Amino acid sequence: MTAILAILEQRNGALRKGSVELLAAARRLADQAGTTVDALVCGAGDVAGLDALGAAGADRVLVATAADFSVYCPDGIVATVAAVAPQYRAVLVSATATGKDLAPRLAARLGGCCGMDVTAVDIDGANIRAVRPVYAGKAIQTVMLSGTVVLAVRPGAYAGVSAAKAGTREPANVPTYFKRLTVTGIRAPEKASIDVAEARVIIAGGRGLGDPKHFALLEELAEAFGGEAAVGASRAVVDAGWIEHGAQVGQTGKTVAPELYIAVGVSGAIQHLAGMRTSKVIVAVNRDKDAPIFKVADYGIVGDLFEVMPALTAAVRAAKAH
């Protein structure tokens, strides 16, 4: 029970964003413990990009193939991992919707423990130490985990590594399992948009917008960023029904860490600040110069958003054109 297993997600035959970063976290643990990293990919057929995983830190790539794996199949993945689990000291997944679903199932099946949404991991003797935000990021908890440890590592917490080796590839056995839950597929939203949890840039709106139709101003700015920006929202406007709940950033919404967070007409309630404070750069546009949002913003513009937003959109468009 020594090696580290990283379970990589694929969708439609392509590895998902974050696979390389997850391998980096696995590599760190393995190097500290003097052990190896196995990457497990569950798919229904060929998965693109496996050749690059050796250089990204995997000593061995295990490919589990089953018809059920064309979509997410938690019962099949749990059975596949359980069959090889005695080899592993830790099992890592990305803390995506899928990974957060999978991690506790695995921990329960393996009789281990689960560290959810961790941002840093280290070996500490016989244990694994993990750092994780709690209270939506209002506090940071450090935990010591023993036995077989399952970790869901927050996307973006680790930068990819270059391991400069090829890695080997082997098929992994998929044991017989009972499929309790049948995933029928993923339906894309009618309007193609980027998830706030994955966007490099977030343009978030609050009650200061005054009317749901004014989200159009935020969407225009998001478009000016050219496919890397998502529109987010505070709880107040989600609860008012101005925008769908998936856009909510905060303690009962999503915790985000984009490179740039532009808060428009967001006053900065404590539960919203908790969800967005890990953004790299925060810009606030608000009419009220005393709004709490300005206390966490790197840059602020005090002013009427109807005047500022069109100018900002034009300026970003111009900057992007260069």
Tell me how far, at minimum, the Cβ of 234 lies from another protein, in Å. 12
Distance CA 99, CA 93 (A): 5
Q: Indicate whether 8 belongs to the interface with another protein (CB under 8 A).
A: no
Q: Indicate whether 111 belongs to the interface with another protein (CB under 8 A).
A: yes
Q: Which is nearer to another protein, 87 or 252 (CB)?
A: 252
Choices 30-38, 60-68, 214-222, 305-313; region in contact with another protein by CB under 8 A: 305-313
CB 118 within 8 A of CB 134: no
31, 105, 169, 177: residue in contact with another protein (rule CB under 8 A): 105
43, 54, 57, 115: residue in contact with another protein (rule CB under 8 A): 115
Q: Indicate whether 195 belongs to the interface with another protein (CB under 8 A).
A: yes
Q: Indicate whether 56 belongs to the interface with another protein (CB under 8 A).
A: no
Distance CA 72, CA 10 (A): 9
Here the tokens at position 138 are 């209002």
125, 164, 187, 290: residue in contact with another protein (rule CB under 8 A): 187
Choices 30-38, 46-54, 58-66, 298-306; region in contact with another protein by CB under 8 A: 298-306
131 sits in which H/E element = strand 127-134
45, 164, 180, 321: residue in contact with another protein (rule CB under 8 A): 180
Q: Which is nearer to another protein, 129 or 169 (CB)?
A: 129
Where are the strands (E) in 34-126, listed by range? 37-43, 60-65, 88-94, 113-118, 120-124
Distance CA 277, CA 262 (A): 12
Tell me how far, at minimum, the Cβ of 136 lies from another protein, in Å. 7
CB 115 within 8 A of CB 100: no
Choices 27-35, 43-51, 70-78, 215-223; region in contact with another protein by CB under 8 A: 70-78
Distance CA 68, CA 73 (A): 6
- Cross-strand pairs, 43: 65
43, 54, 76, 112: residue in contact with another protein (rule CB under 8 A): 112
- Cross-strand pairs, 203: 231, 262
Tell me how far, at minimum, the Cβ of 189 lies from another protein, in Å. 6
CB atoms within 10 A of CB 52: 15
Site mask for another protein (CB under 8 A), range 127-156, x = bound: --x--xxxxxxxxxxxxxxxx---------
Q: Which is nearer to another protein, 4 or 136 (CB)?
A: 136
157 sits in which H/E element = none
20, 248, 264, 266: residue in contact with another protein (rule CB under 8 A): 248
Q: Indicate whether 299 belongs to the interface with another protein (CB under 8 A).
A: yes
CB atoms within 10 A of CB 18: 23
Q: Which is nearer to another protein, 36 or 294 (CB)?
A: 294
Q: Indicate whether 14 belongs to the interface with another protein (CB under 8 A).
A: no
Place of tokens 């339906």: 187
Tell me how far, at minimum, the Cβ of 23 lies from another protein, in Å. 19
- Cross-strand pairs, 232: 204
Distance CA 18, CA 49 (A): 13
Place of tokens 């098929």: 171
Q: Which is nearer to another protein, 164 or 186 (CB)?
A: 186
19, 234, 251, 267: residue in contact with another protein (rule CB under 8 A): 251
CB 307 within 8 A of CB 169: no
